[in-house]
Amino acid sequence: MRTKVELGSQILDFVRSLAPEPRKALRVGLHRLEKDEGDIKGLEGELAGWSRLRVKSYRVIFRCVIEKGERIVRCEYAERRAVIYEMFAELVRRQMEADAPDQ
């Protein structure tokens, strides 16, 4: 099955903001996702259903979906390891609240 990697705007902006060496490392890591390679781990708790890619001191949070016979890796958020999980969990909570029907 063919795999396509999609990068969200936050990831593109984050990668562009980095110095050349870490920028290159993240780009290589993201390309390796097409082959399901790299230091990948499923997340737990309120981030269950998401996975992370570790590249040096950076983390990329993504989710895999199957659409029209194609595996799509949707990379949503990238940041330094020290802050990414708390920041992304807050974004997920806000999105869920915004998507919830009014009661």
Neighbours of 10 (CB within 10 A): 16
Q: Residue 63's domain spans which residues?
A: 3-99
Write out the DSSP string of 63-83: EEEEETTEEEEEEEEEEEHHH
Long-range own/partner contacts, residues 45-54 (CB < 8 A, 24 or more apart): 46/89, 46/92, 46/93, 47/85, 47/88, 47/89, 47/92, 50/76, 50/88, 52/84, 53/29, 54/81
Quote the pLDDT of residue 102. 67
pLDDT, tens digit (0-9, with 9 covering 90-100), for 24-81:
999 999 999 999 899 999 999 888 899 999 999 999 999 999 998 899 999 999 998 8
Give how many domains the chain has, as a whole number.
1
pLDDT at 15 over 70: yes
- Determine contact, residues 33/2, Cβ cutoff 8 Å: no
What's the CA gap between 27 and 19, in Å, rounded? 12
Tell me the CATH number at 34. Answer: 3.30.2310.20
| pLDDT value of position 88 | 80
